[in-house]
């Protein structure tokens, strides 16, 4: 399958939009001067209505043991019939080596790595709010649906060496998709982890009740734990944002201040 080239940017983390995966589709418009990208979100898919470019941002991860040991997480982005690995290889062996092995790409992360962090392949788990940005350096046709697949490995190989796999379109209960104006979700979490509200706090209204986001963006929240249980259901295992633009160059420009958006929900 064809793989897209990627272009990196190191701007501040952008903001997001919201809809719970599986609910009826909604429509938004990204208005930046005379440029707009209309899209819908339905069943865990972002579907633009015109030619578009996309930027992918991993806002942060918090997947690991109660003692703070981190497991590896990788991300695949599916756009139409193409599968893209913007941060490196999605199929990895995090237990095979303690050395740092990457897939030929370098990325810049905010914050510092945890010593126990597996550094194999495309692992994006820093255990913190630590945004990483990638612009996909190509244009896509209208109606090319954007979905996300995430894989997570246990921190301890003795538990399991097989990754958990979630897809935003087929695992609707385990993946939430948010856009501007949605209610901010609230979940309890383990005492040593940061809750999902902290990940979303820069992208909410002043009251913290609704998402206050740029309308050309959507955020995906992943939960790898068993939803039938009561332990660790917090939807901050992986937090990923997609930003749409009419061109690759659009995505390299700064977005307008968040204070200009979302005021209807204060």
* Residue 171 pLDDT: 94
For residue 49, give Cα distances in angstroms to 57, 63, 169, 238: 21, 34, 18, 27
Rounded to an integer, the average pLDDT of 11-27 is 37
* Residue 120 pLDDT: 57
Nearest residue to 61 (alpha-carbon basis) of 126, 15, 109, 112: 126
Lowest mean pLDDT among 29-38, 137-146, 157-166, 206-215: 29-38
Task: Name which residue leads in pLDDT, 249 or 66.
Answer: 249
∠ CA 242-245-246, nearest 5°, is: 150
What sign results for the dihedral spanned by CA atoms 25, 52, 83, 104? negative
Share of the chain above pLDDT 70, in %: 67
Nearest residue to 266 (alpha-carbon basis) of 203, 185, 207: 207
Answer whether 246's CB lies under 8 Å from 220's CB: no
What sign results for the dihedral spanned by CA atoms 80, 41, 210, 252? positive
Lowest mean pLDDT among 103-117, 140-154, 173-187: 103-117
Share of the chain above pLDDT 90, in %: 36
Distance CA 42, CA 46 (A): 7
Domains in the chain: boundaries: 6-265
Answer whether 184's CB lies under 8 Å from 203's CB: no
* Residue 126 pLDDT: 84
Rounded to an integer, the average pLDDT of 132-155 is 94
Q: Which residues contact 24 (CB under 8 A, 6 or more apart)?
A: 42
* Residue 124 pLDDT: 93
For residue 194, give Cα distances in angstroms to 62, 188, 206, 235: 7, 9, 20, 11
The pLDDT confidence band at residue 11, using thresholds 50, 70 and 90, is: very low
Whether residue 186 is predicted with pLDDT greater than 90 in this model: the reply is: no
**Mean pLDDT, rounded, of the chain:** 75
């Amino acid at each position: 399958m064809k793989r897209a080239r990627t272009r990196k940017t190191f701007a501040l983390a952008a903001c997001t939009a919201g809809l719970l995966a599986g609910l009826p589709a909604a429509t938004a418009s990204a208005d930046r001067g005379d440029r707009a990208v209309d899209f819908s979100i339905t069943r865990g898919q972002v579907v633009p209505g015109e030619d578009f470019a996309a930027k992918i941002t991993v806002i942060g991860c918090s997947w690991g043991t109660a003692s703070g040991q981190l497991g590896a997480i990788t991300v695949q982005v599916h756009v139409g019939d193409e599968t893209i690995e913007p941060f490196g290889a999605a199929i990895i062996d995090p237990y095979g080596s303690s050395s740092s092995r990457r897939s030929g790409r370098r990325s810049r992360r905010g914050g510092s790595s945890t010593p126990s962090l597996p550094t194999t392949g495309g692992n994006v788990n820093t255990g913190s709010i630590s945004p990483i940005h990638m612009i996909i350096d190509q244009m896509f046709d209208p109606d090319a649906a954007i979905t996300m697949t995430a894989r997570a490995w246990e921190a301890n190989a003795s538990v399991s060496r097989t990754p958990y796999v979630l897809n935003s379109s087929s695992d609707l209960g385990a993946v939430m998709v948010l856009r501007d104006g949605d209610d901010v979700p609230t979940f309890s979490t383990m005492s040593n982890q940061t809750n999902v509200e902290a990940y979303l706090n820069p992208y909410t209204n002043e009251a913290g009740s609704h998402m206050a986001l740029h309308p050309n963006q959507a955020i995906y929240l992943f939960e790898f734990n068993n939803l039938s249980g009561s332990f660790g259901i917090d939807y901050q295992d992986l937090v990923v944002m997609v930003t749409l633009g009419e061109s690759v160059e659009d995505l390299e420009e700064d977005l307008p201040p968040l204070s200009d958006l979302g005021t209807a929900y204060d």
